[in-house]
Amino acid sequence: MAKVLCVLYDDPVAGYPKSYARDGIPKIERYPGGQTTPTPRQIDFKPGELLGSVSGGLGLYKFLEGLGHTFVVTSDKEGTTSVFERELPDAEIVISQPFWPAYLTAERIAKAKKLKLAITAGIGSDHVDLQAAIEHGVTVAEVTYSNSISVSEHVVMMILSLVRNYIPSYKWVIDGGWNIADCVSSSYDLEAMEVGTVGSGRIGLGVLRRLKPFDVKLHYTDRHRLPEDVEKDLKLTYHPNAESMVRVCDVVTINAPLHPETEHLFNDALIDKMKRGAYLVNTARGKICDRDAVVRALKSGKLAGYAGDVWFPQPAPRDHPWRTMPHHGMTPHTSGTSLSAQARYAAGTREILECWFEGRPIREEYLIVDSGKLAGTGAHSYSVGKTA
């Protein structure tokens, strides 16, 4: 029997919910492009419940304990005395979410002698040292597409929030004011602005498609060009690199994975090439931006706003400068863990586990590392090497 170690974020401070704002969530069977949503044999939760926190246990308690496995669920993941560190040496499977990542460093993988499978309940396995996973024969899988559209929606929300100055205006209301001039002194229309994405995969293309009706001018840069019919339909301008794109954009959104090529891509030098008063939205990974360069650019007015939900490290320390920098619209890492997304990635995690225990192949699109090499989606999207 296996020991499954699962690291999830804490329950709400008010306790695990007894009821929800809505009675359920719409059922989606296919993602854009045709890939099917997860197809586990069974689920033991009601879609729309909170599954990503400790008491939710990704809806896996009954399934795993019913099979006789040991299922350890914790939010305690930092430091040598944490539950995660103590339970890791004899765990066969580790499950973690990017929102509350259990960093599987090379040192930890070396200590986890029995570790065979690391599942990301969500998308983005950069919290796992993939080179170490390759060297130790650990399979890495994630639930591709499960929350891509959730993030695309969040990006659109953040772009509009920044450009229209929503958050400070809301704050005036809470504070009892009616300060229209204060609210609108930095409020604009998005219409006719130049908006560009770094990365036009599942999330980036989802953002472009959602922005089309806003009558903006759309740009993108990516390692591969989109099909001609998509470029035509969305009236896209392609740029061979981020530098060429950011020079012309009023709004830039980052939707590329973190890998050695994208780490600190948005540093002083690249931000300097952006238009004065541009907005930057990053829901991809915190380390794609140079933390202090972003703060400097907001303070100097080079950037008019920065928003996103990804930080480094996570959870962000209380004194992280992005909490207090001016003109920001940051949230904790929430965009990909709406209740709707949780239902999909919990079902996807269950599907991966069912395959693993029954000796059936895991879907190619879920694989990142397998049999000592990058595999499936990982072979397409990731490169190995260290991000500091």
The residues annotated with a catalytic role in the active site are 147, 285, 314, 333
Neighbouring CB atoms inside 10 A of 299's CB total 12
By CB under 6 A, tell whether 338 contacts ligand NDP: no
By CB under 6 A, tell whether 75 contacts ligand NDP: no
CB of 3 to ligand NDP, least distance (A): 27
Q: From residue 144, how far is each of 18, 31, 119, 125, 206 by CA, in Å?
A: 30, 10, 11, 11, 14
Out of 53, 96, 120, 283, name the contact with ligand NDP by CB under 6 A.
283
Closest listed residue to residue 360, CA positions, set 151, 196, 141, 148: 141
CB of 247 to ligand NDP, least distance (A): 16
Burial of 287 (0-12, 13-18, 19+ CB in 10 A): buried
The nearer residue to ligand NDP, 75 or 381, going by C-beta atoms, is 381
Positions in 111-150 near ligand NDP (CB under 6 A): 122-124, 147-148
Stretch that binds ligand NDP, among 53-61, 77-85, 279-287, 318-326 (CB under 6 A): 279-287
- Give dist(CA 204, CA 88) in Å, integer: 35
By CB under 6 A, tell whether 203 contacts ligand NDP: yes
The nearer residue to ligand NDP, 71 or 279, going by C-beta atoms, is 279
Closest listed residue to residue 98, CA positions, set 118, 83, 112, 80: 118
By CB under 6 A, tell whether 200 contacts ligand NDP: yes
Out of 120, 165, 221, 340, name the contact with ligand NDP by CB under 6 A.
221
By CB under 6 A, tell whether 222 contacts ligand NDP: yes
Positions in 147-186 near ligand NDP (CB under 6 A): 147-148, 151
The nearer residue to ligand NDP, 194 or 309, going by C-beta atoms, is 309
By CB under 6 A, tell whether 5 contacts ligand NDP: no
By CB under 6 A, tell whether 202 contacts ligand NDP: yes
The nearer residue to ligand NDP, 75 or 148, going by C-beta atoms, is 148
Stretch that binds ligand NDP, among 168-176, 215-223, 299-307, 317-325 (CB under 6 A): 215-223
- Give dist(CA 91, CA 3) in Å, integer: 5
Give the pairing type, strands 237-239 and 70-74. unpaired
- Which structure tokens are listed for 6? 């699962």
The nearer residue to ligand NDP, 297 or 310, going by C-beta atoms, is 310
* 3-state secondary structure (DSSP) of residue 164: coil
* Dihedral sign, Cα of residue 344, residue 374, residue 72, residue 41: positive
The nearer residue to ligand NDP, 165 or 377, going by C-beta atoms, is 377
CA atoms within 13 A of residue 80's CA, in its CB half-sphere? 2
Out of 223, 232, 299, 323, name the contact with ligand NDP by CB under 6 A.
223
- Give dist(CA 192, CA 102) in Å, integer: 42
Out of 57, 199, 305, 376, name the contact with ligand NDP by CB under 6 A.
199
By CB under 6 A, tell whether 198 contacts ligand NDP: yes
By CB under 6 A, tell whether 253 contacts ligand NDP: no
By CB under 6 A, tell whether 101 contacts ligand NDP: no
Out of 96, 161, 349, 381, name the contact with ligand NDP by CB under 6 A.
381
Helix or strand run (H / E) with residue 178: none
Positions in 306-335 near ligand NDP (CB under 6 A): 309-310, 333, 335
DSSP string, 179-245: -HHHHHTT----TT-EEEEE--SHHHHHHHHHHGGGTPEEEEE-SSPPPHHHHHHHT-EEESSHHHH
209 contacts: CB under 8 Å, gap ≥ 6: 32, 152, 234
CB of 249 to ligand NDP, least distance (A): 14
- Give dist(CA 6, CA 111) in Å, integer: 17
- Which structure tokens are listed for 146? 């499960």
Q: Are 309 and 334 in contact (CB under 8 A)?
A: yes
Positions in the binding site for ligand NDP (CB under 6 A): 122-124, 147-148, 151, 198-204, 221-224, 255-258, 261-262, 283-285, 309-310, 333, 335-336, 380-381
